[in-house]
Each structure stands twice: as structure tokens, then as C-alpha cells.
Amino acid sequence: MTREEFMAKLRRGLNGLSPESQAEAVADYNAHFDEALAAGRSEEEAAAALGDPERLARELKTESGLKRWEANKSPSNAAGAIAGLIGLGALDLIILLPLLMSVLSVIFSLYIALIAVFFGGGVLMVAGPFISDLTNPWLAVIAGIGMVSGATFAGAILTLISVGLINAIVWYGRLHFRLLKPAIEAQG
């Protein structure tokens, strides 16, 4: 593969990154080609040593997503980081994807249940005293407050667990990348 072909595939793979990140990556790999040519190697040898440009682009996009997650822990950044890691660890996903999807489904279901308990507690707190079957109308108010505060507490704990899970996935991805990095550098 020639330098031009390599760089074209790399640029296509980097679509979606900021223009600054794309320019930095392209400059980096152009420098690798320049060094290889200065050392007397051909463009084909340099391209072979660098590896698959599409894989390199996925790694760069994943690293960018991980940095965005670390800088700003938002749901969209979490989704981007997870999607990038999924793209990198396709072989691992045969084993991990069912487990990860199960855990994420349980967490999502718990969030929905907590929202329902929160609003149910609010309705009980407001409408409970007006229900004629209750012997003590304040009991409904206290039960409603308990449901709202319990759902809020459980939601906070579940959010901490969710952030911890996403951090564990990011850590796994970084570990995976660190394990591959020596092999990638050995090719260069």
C-alpha cells in the first residue's frame, strides 16, 4: 500500500473527529512515512509497519471518545466511549456483549422503576389524604415522602454504580489498548 492509499484510508476512518484531531493524526502518520523514507525504506514497507489504517483510525477515535468521557461525564460521551470500545474489541464482544447488555438492561429497568416509584410517591403524598378509606390521612403523606426520598436515594446509588460501570469499561478498553500497544510499536 502506498503512502497516498494509506493516508486516504486513514482520513476516511477519522471522519467524525474534530478537524484539529484529524489534522494532528494525519501529520503524525505523515511523519512516520517521512522517517521511514529517510531511513531508506519504501512507502509499502512503512505502511506495512504502521498496520491497518482503518484499525488505527478506530483506535484514535476510541481514544478521543475516552478522553471526552473523562473530561465530561455525560450520557452522550459515555455512549461514544462504549461504542468506540465495542468497535475495538469485536472479538471480546462475543463473550462480553451479552453480559454487558444484560447489565445495562437491568440498570435501565431499575432507572425506569425508580422513576415510577418517585412519581407514585408524589401522587400518594398529594392525593393520599383525600382518599376516604384511610384511617389516618397523614400516613399517606408520610408514605409518599418515604417513597420519593427512597427513590431519590436509590437513584443516586444507581447513578454511582452506572458511572463506576462505565469507568470499568473504559479501564478495560485502555487495558486492552495497552496490551496491544507494544505489538503495534514493534511493527513500527
Q: How confident is the model at residue 108 (pLDDT cuts 50, 70, 90)?
A: very high
Per DSSP, what are the bridge partners of residue 25? none
Q: What backbone torsions phi and psi does residue 15 show, to the nearest 5 degrees?
A: -55, 135
Same structural domain for residues 115 and 175? yes
Per-residue buried b or exposed e for 110-120, using 16+ beta carbons within 10 Å of the residue's own CB: beeebeebbee
Please tell me whether residues 34 and 114 are part of one structural domain.
no
CA angle 177, 95, 89 (to 5 degrees): 25
Q: Give me 147's grid cell.
A: 417513597
For residues 84 and 63, give the distance between their C-alpha atoms in angstroms, rounded to a whole number.
8
pTM: 0.49
Is the domain of 39 the same as that of 73? Answer: yes
Structural domain harbouring 180:
89-188
What is the number of domains present in the chain? Answer: 2
Q: Mean pLDDT lowest for which of 14-28, 97-111, 170-184? A: 170-184
Using pLDDT thresholds of 50, 70 and 90, give the confidence band for residue 18.
confident
What's the CA angle centered on 63, arms 31 and 80, to 5 degrees?
140
Q: What is the mean pLDDT of residues 124-149?
A: 85
Domain match, 73 and 109 both: no
What is the b/e burial string over 63-79, where b = at least 16 CB atoms within 10 angstroms of the residue's CB? bbbbebbeeeeeeebbe
* String of DSSP letters for 126-139: HHGGG-TT-S-HHH
- Among the candidates 41, 58, 81, a domain finishes at 81
